[in-house]
Amino acid sequence: MKTDATKTLSALLFWILTGAFVLNLAVLPLLPPLLSLRFNAEWADLFRGVFRLSFFPLHRGQWPEFFWRLMFYEVCGACSAVMLWQARAVLKNLAALRLFVPENARRVGTAARCSFVISAAALVRLCLEWSAYGLYQVLTAYNTLFVPVFLVAGLLCLVMARLFEQAARLKEDNDLVI
């Protein structure tokens, strides 16, 4: 009874993560024109920029900020795509009732590293914005939460990876004894 519920829930989560992964990959190439909307939000240029996937004309002083924001979003988007892919693979193993295999530990460890990259990218962005806007505006931005949240998520994933690794070793030893 419990294995059926585990398989069903794993399959449902697998398909939800697959949809999120596909949407993530669809949005990554659209980041430059969507980000340029933030800099020049004129409605007449909206359709020209989005449907032709071209940049809005940016003023000379806007390029550095545009470039750093685009790099931040691209790095975070790529890391989140890798994390979603790893979670899909772990859920696929769960649906097949292969819980304690070394592959799961490796995949959760990869997700931890991606989480640390996102946290580091957010910290770099905070430092750049601190020098540009001042401390108060930086500390009240949503980006400030990225650093501790993804740092803690990475540490949690590392702990889970070690637990999966230890459980896989114990299962292997148990299989050899029996």
pLDDT per position as a tens digit, 51-109: 554 555 556 667 777 888 889 999 999 999 999 999 999 999 988 888 889 999 999 99
| Averaged pLDDT score across all residues of the chain | 84
Same domain for 59 and 131?
no
Same domain for 91 and 18?
yes
Domain boundary among 48, 66, 96: 96
How far out from the chain centre does Cα 44 lie?
33
Same domain for 73 and 126?
no
Position 120 pLDDT exceeds 70 = yes
Same domain for 43 and 81?
yes
Same domain for 89 and 21?
yes
Same domain for 116 and 150?
yes
Same domain for 56 and 3?
yes
Domain boundary among 65, 96, 127: 96
Q: Report pLDDT for 40.
A: 60
Same domain for 88 and 35?
yes
Q: Report pLDDT for 48.
A: 53
Same domain for 86 and 139?
no
Least confident of 43-52, 54-63, 152-161: 43-52
Question: What does pTM read for this prediction?
Answer: 0.81
**Of 7, 176, 8, the residue nearest 99 (C-alpha):** 7
Token pair, residue 57, equals 């004309």
Same domain for 155 and 168?
yes
Number of domains in the chain: 2
Longest Cα separation, the chain: 72
Domain that holds residue 175: 99-178
Other Cβ atoms less than 10 A from the Cβ of 3: the count is 8
Position 49 pLDDT exceeds 80 = no
**Of 86, 85, 116, 82, the residue nearest 104 (C-alpha):** 86
Same domain for 105 and 171?
yes
Domain boundary among 96, 130, 146: 96
Least confident of 48-57, 119-128, 155-164: 48-57
Same domain for 17 and 88?
yes
State the Cα–Cα distance between residues 169 and 140, nearest whole angstrom.
45
